[in-house]
Amino acid sequence: MKKRVILILLCCSFFMQNIWSQEALDKYNLMPWPKEIEDNTAKFMIDSNVTISIMGENHPRVRNAAINFLRRLANRTGVFIDNGFPLKEVSASIEINYNTISNLTVNDDESYTLVVKEDKVIIDAISDVGALRGMETLLQLVSYNEDNYFFQGVTIKDAPRFVWRGLMIDVARHFQPVDVLKRNLDAMASVKLNVFHWHLTDDQGFRVESKVYPRLQEIAADGLFYTQEQIRDVVAYASNLGIRVIPEFDVPGHASAILAAYPELGSKDDYDYKVERFAGVFDPTLDPSKKITYLFLETLFREIAPLFPDEYFHIGGDENEGKHWNENAEIQEFKKKHNLKTNHDLQTYFNIRLEKILKKLGKKLMGWDEILTPSIPTTAVIHSWRGEHEGLEQSTLIEAAQKGYQAVLSAGYYIDRMLSVEHHYLVDPIGDAVLSKEERKRILGAEATMWSELVTPLTIDSRIWPRTAAIAERYWSPKNTNDLIHMRKRLKVINYQLEELGINHIRNKDVILRNISKNEDTKPLRILSKICEPLKIYSRNKGGTEYKSFSPFTLFADACTADAEDAIEFNNVVSLFIKNDNKENLNAVNNFLTLWAENHIDFIKINNNPNTQLLEPLSKNLSNTSKLFLTILSNKKITLTEFNNLKALLTNLEEPFMDTELAILSSLKNLLTYCKANYLIQ
Amino acid sequence: MKKRVILILLCCSFFMQNIWSQEALDKYNLMPWPKEIEDNTAKFMIDSNVTISIMGENHPRVRNAAINFLRRLANRTGVFIDNGFPLKEVSASIEINYNTISNLTVNDDESYTLVVKEDKVIIDAISDVGALRGMETLLQLVSYNEDNYFFQGVTIKDAPRFVWRGLMIDVARHFQPVDVLKRNLDAMASVKLNVFHWHLTDDQGFRVESKVYPRLQEIAADGLFYTQEQIRDVVAYASNLGIRVIPEFDVPGHASAILAAYPELGSKDDYDYKVERFAGVFDPTLDPSKKITYLFLETLFREIAPLFPDEYFHIGGDENEGKHWNENAEIQEFKKKHNLKTNHDLQTYFNIRLEKILKKLGKKLMGWDEILTPSIPTTAVIHSWRGEHEGLEQSTLIEAAQKGYQAVLSAGYYIDRMLSVEHHYLVDPIGDAVLSKEERKRILGAEATMWSELVTPLTIDSRIWPRTAAIAERYWSPKNTNDLIHMRKRLKVINYQLEELGINHIRNKDVILRNISKNEDTKPLRILSKICEPLKIYSRNKGGTEYKSFSPFTLFADACTADAEDAIEFNNVVSLFIKNDNKENLNAVNNFLTLWAENHIDFIKINNNPNTQLLEPLSKNLSNTSKLFLTILSNKKITLTEFNNLKALLTNLEEPFMDTELAILSSLKNLLTYCKANYLIQ
């Protein structure tokens, strides 16, 4: 048996590629990539005789995971496994060993070792959650040849880099039913994420049933909220997957919905508080000078906190611009009386009172980084979200840790900004910061954030996945696991495997395109959608069309995703061609150009309604551009007229089409520059 | 404005076609087809100014329906509607009027009238549920041209033929989570079905939480059951859609799961009762001679019945073969003592006691047609399921109604048998039976039954839809609405519109094929899946592979459906060609043959794993068959060798491939017969 240690070396990715053979990198499609991996050539056959035994305490979490493991294995391979349930204390072909039951805290041990031999698989872990992580790795080792399915032989020793690896889902801007959360929890577990941050309230809705304050669900939710039993169900479901749940109740700002239900808590008298339908930052804010505000929050938290067993409790605290505070004489009076100079000081006063309320309930206060003010006690947990984009030179993460606060990073992981997977993958939470051991320990980890202004249950999966799988690797794997080509290759496999967990990111594209085409052939739309990306960094939601919560999200932009797949490939072949204009590279470019040149013929056939009409200029301009390039590349000649025509066409293509941008534009420009430089007839 | 009354005439479909112009039939894609329809050429524009007002009592049911109406309208058209919520008592462009709030009983009035004019839509109904039915019709009138979306002008007067129009879903053989039920309830409402029959218990699982008998969910459910709050949630969700919920607790047979939890209720001492994993008819049966059996059922029903507000309560009662009763001396003694000659008599005794228990709880006993014995009181409701296939000349429906029982038909509507939509569509519940007014009134209606031995949440939608939309038409529309071509044409539109309700029947095909192909190009598999149908009438689950509840349901057969779309088209073009072998018809045949001949080249590229390997003979034989036919049709000559070769190939194609059958086989045979008759070289 051939063995080779694949070392995780403390070196840059360039160096790594030189040490790891391509063969080793090619063999395993693991994500997150493990800490230590030693390959071997064994093949453990997956046939009807596969059995699982759970040694030690047969806790529901591992039993449930083992049953789901068997179901997923059967469904992925089509193998009829005789024994559909785990055996207890009996030696089986897959043995799972662990000693402790995790309480799901930041101190959990999630490490495991996994050995796959010819006739035996052994997973050893300290805790049950470690065993779960090992089972997910094993499922990623399923491979096949023409005759068999098998687990690839391997020895893995694995443990996470960060203890807090989260995904935040905003269910306020667009409500996400329990089934959406459950399938995303399944997907999170499959890539070893362990924190679900549940953004439950915002201007656009308060999504939790309160028996004490029923107007919250009656007035502030449009009928879209979770009952307390549903919350318990989601928390239990997450716990079964080894995922902690952190609820967020965003106060004192982002409070339009709360104030629609209980206007007496507001900072501005006689203001017409309403559930907000638009996206943005709004004025309605709780009044921190009133006793009833604290009475309300203490009573509410007392009712709701027990639904969430986790110690951490997020109170938001972001984006309060204090407009209504400034306009309220009593609040100004209150500030003076308490010697609070600024609105920040007033908010800190508010936060400190909340911190005490939460402490009584056994909770740690966590908030967005606006809460990081000099007087906030170090028991608070800082959630860094602002970065370069918000005018900061760097996030507050390192600063918070150095000042003694536990901290979690989200700056750089705002997946709703619709940036490429590379963008997020290359953000390292710590970077080059030099930290003491204690400071390093305070950096708990990071979270991807899925704000939901522009997503519905139909589209949310395609905004979270597959990018979040790569982000999960950033949080779990060693810092030097950062080779983009290797990541892309593995992500492609993980991407389609996510479908088995019910993630709709791939399948729902066609649903939207079928609706746009009115059940005509979706191919011409699919071809366009593979090179268009939704407008990035919130530019879709400003100027022109302003989206409301009930606007349609079944548009062309909703069928498109970040990392448009053909665009990646085309951009690649164009840069290869420009470096080396040999026949092979030319052909690769021509294949795409031909596809787009001819696509318009099919497009015209389905151009039968207002939505396809709006896409027609894109299809037509792209076709004309492609045809012209084909001629030029074939003739190896470009006239000045042709050059100017192409330039004009590319200018047209620069405009957004139905809230998308053409992701091949810069490559087309580069191609034009190349043609001008090499083929221009003066 | 052009107007023409489209009369629903009491005449056969042949006659109808001669009276209705093709234009009228083409214009509206309504399903179910309404009772009376008068067309006009008005177009009501769907733009941002569309508003809905609800006159009369603003009950949650209509308000909820109006909000969903606006969401679906926006999402289907992409129109940004300014006013996302219904107006109250204000004249809007769409006006909804009704007078009463339905209690959801068999006496409900679901009639409505709908008028669409150039600038106004008015729905008038007696009850709120009637208004809901009208809104669904209006959504089916959404049409478009290149510039606009609009509602087609029309005047409709509509009312259902039967008061009981149901879909049964079996959640015992394979558990179906709440979200599966909710999306199917939405789809049911969209085609005006109004009864959800919830088959909650069977040998393979007891799916309801009991606080009195907790072992039912602990032992008898594999963790897969509904909490009482979830049941309340589903019932409320259905009620909001104007759908009644009939629960079924199947006793005294089909009781393996109950007896696994409470073996003391069983008919055979020391029997090792277990939750059943296979499909079939099994021996475990409640003991009708024991007092504790009735105590158990009365206590259980007393706990559970209040979750279901409907008067009708289904106790199953089917397929009890009485084996364990025969083997139990005490039961035999009990029979003698009570003068019960047969096991049927004993079961009737049991049913009568249940009927009394249920009466105390305000419930009407309903059962499968085995309960129809001479001594069962006429307060019982007969659910006819056995037909020709079970050795009966005709169903018990008419007999039951004539004997004074209310009755519901399911014989002919077993959609899990995977027969064509035509098969079910042409089953008329009453047929030619001559009934008195009273007898006719006792025939409440009918139900499609989705037994779940071979379906999971991934595939169930593609087994229910779109066929159930056509069945819904059978239950709602006049008897003479039975033109198959017209039905097929409308079904195609309704089929893809079901996607907007979250029905996964189309999108999940590719999910399964991606898994089979391991994310390679699914096109060659899709081409095969469009001419293959899953084995019918339970032949998939007998002999050879025996499916268990945890077997894989991600196989090629699971990607295939009844009414394979290319098969329908090919069968059509072949019969046209045989009737008239002109060039056009020949080309149509050749196009398909060329597709299949060439498909194998693509298939080979993705043939990389055991599942594709199993399909290889199908792809190859089909390719060879197609090639040979192409040659023969081109040469207009067939040699005896060619004839024999083709015959052998067709014999090979007769074998099931991965639990599917080739739905074009008889057309290929007909084509061969044609070739022999016309082209044979002696």
Burial per residue of B371-398, b for 16 or more beta-carbon CB atoms within 10 angstroms, e otherwise = bbeeebeeebbbbbbbbeeeeeeebbbb
Q: What is the pLDDT of residue A544?
A: 62
Q: What is the pLDDT of residue B12?
A: 37
Nearest to B76 among A80, A507, A515 (CB): A515
Q: What is the pLDDT of residue B561?
A: 98
pLDDT-derived band at A320, boundaries 50, 70, 90:
confident
Q: Does B23 fall in a domain?
A: yes
Contacts of B80 in chain A (CB under 8 A): 545, 548, 551-552
* Residues B453 and B594 reside in one and the same domain: no
Q: What is the pLDDT of residue B387?
A: 84
Q: Tell me the pTM.
A: 0.96
Is the model's pLDDT at A238 over the cut of 70? Answer: yes
Number of domains chain B is built from: 3
Q: pLDDT exceeding 70 applies to what percent of chain A?
A: 95
Contacts of A549 in chain B (CB under 8 A): 84
Could you tell me the CATH number of the domain that includes residue A21?
3.30.379.10
Q: What is the pLDDT of residue A393?
A: 81
* Structural domain for A584, as ranges: 521-679
Q: Which of A134-148, A149-163, B23-37 has the lowest mean pLDDT?
A: B23-37
Instruction: Confirm or reject contact between A360 and chain B (CB < 8 A).
Output: no
Contacts of B492 in chain A (CB under 8 A): 519
A147 to B613: CB separation less than 8 angstroms, yes or no: yes
Is the model's pLDDT at A8 over the cut of 60? Answer: no
* Residues B131 and B168 reside in one and the same domain: no
Of A109, A138, A158, the position where a domain reaches its end is A158
* Residues B130 and B205 reside in one and the same domain: no
Is the model's pLDDT at B25 over the cut of 80? Answer: no
Instruction: Confirm or reject contact between A345 and chain B (CB < 8 A).
Output: no
* Residues B138 and B247 reside in one and the same domain: no
A515 to B75: CB separation less than 8 angstroms, yes or no: yes
Instruction: Confirm or reject contact between B149 and chain A (CB < 8 A).
Output: yes
Q: Are B415 and B471 in contact (CB under 8 A)?
A: yes
CA distance A148 to chain B (A): 6
B506 to A518: CB separation less than 8 angstroms, yes or no: no
Q: Does B311 fall in a domain?
A: yes
Contacts of B509 in chain A (CB under 8 A): none
Q: What is the pLDDT of residue B24?
A: 61
A contact test, residue of B70, B240, B507 with most A CBs within 10 A? B507
A499 to B506: CB separation less than 8 angstroms, yes or no: no
Q: What would you measure as the largest C-alpha separation in chain B, in angstroms? A: 83
Q: What is the pLDDT of residue B546?
A: 83
Is the model's pLDDT at B549 over the cut of 90? Answer: yes
Q: What is the pLDDT of residues A41-88, one digit of tens each?
A: 999 999 999 999 998 766 899 999 999 999 999 999 999 999 999 997
* Residues B389 and B293 reside in one and the same domain: yes
Instruction: Confirm or reject contact between B604 and chain A (CB < 8 A).
Output: no
CA distance B147 to chain A (A): 5
Of A158, A193, A213, the position where a domain reaches its end is A158
Q: Does B351 fall in a domain?
A: yes
Q: Which of A611-615, B89-93, B441-445 has the lowest mean pLDDT?
A: B89-93
Q: What is the pLDDT of residue B7?
A: 39
Could you tell me the CATH number of the domain that includes residue B206?
3.20.20.80
* Residues B569 and B619 reside in one and the same domain: yes
The per-residue pLDDT of chain B, averaged, comes to 94
Q: What is the pLDDT of residues B187-234, one digit of tens each?
A: 999 999 999 999 999 999 999 999 999 999 999 999 999 999 999 999
Burial of A199 (0-12, 13-18, 19+ CB in 10 A): buried
* Residues B185 and B309 reside in one and the same domain: yes
**Dist. CA A682–CA B340, nearest whole Å:** 108
A552 to B149: CB separation less than 8 angstroms, yes or no: no
Q: Does B326 fall in a domain?
A: yes
The DSSP string of A387-425 is -GGGT-SS-SHHHHHHTT-EEEE-TT-BGGG---HHHHH
* Residues B145 and B200 reside in one and the same domain: no
* Residues B202 and B96 reside in one and the same domain: no
Q: Are A89 and A53 in contact (CB under 8 A)?
A: yes
**Dist. CA A635–CA A626, nearest whole Å:** 14
Q: What is the pLDDT of residue B127?
A: 96
* Residues B96 and B26 reside in one and the same domain: yes
* Residues B249 and B340 reside in one and the same domain: yes
Is the model's pLDDT at A609 over the cut of 50? Answer: yes
Q: Does A527 fall in a domain?
A: yes
Q: Does B247 fall in a domain?
A: yes
* Residues B124 and B225 reside in one and the same domain: no
Q: What is the pLDDT of residue A23?
A: 60
Q: What is the pLDDT of residue A541?
A: 75
Contacts of A231 in chain B (CB under 8 A): none
Tally A–B CB contacts below 8 A: 141
**Dist. CA B112–CA B639, nearest whole Å:** 64
Q: What is the pLDDT of residue B596?
A: 98
Sign of CA dihedral A515, A520, A525, A527: positive
Q: Does B205 fall in a domain?
A: yes
**Dist. CA B132–CA B111, nearest whole Å:** 10
Instruction: Confirm or reject contact between B264 and chain A (CB < 8 A).
Output: no
Contacts of B275 in chain A (CB under 8 A): none
B contact test, residue of A459, A551, A558, A608 with most B CBs within 10 A? A551
Q: Are B588 and B572 in contact (CB under 8 A)?
A: no
CA quadruple A520, A523, A526, A528: dihedral, nearest 10: -100
Q: Can you name the residues that pair with B409 across neighbouring β-strands?
A: B384, B446
| CA B565 to the chain's CA centroid | 18
Q: Does A191 fall in a domain?
A: no
Nearest to B515 among A145, A178, A500 (CB): A500
Query: Chain A, 543-562: which have a CB under 8 Å from a chain B CB?
Result: 545, 548-555
A contact test, residue of B62, B139, B146 with most A CBs within 10 A? B146
Nearest to A551 among B74, B223, B502 (CB): B74
Q: Can you name the residues that pair with B156 across neighbouring β-strands?
A: B37, B114
Of A158, A183, A206, the position where a domain reaches its end is A158
Mean pLDDT score, B443-466: 98
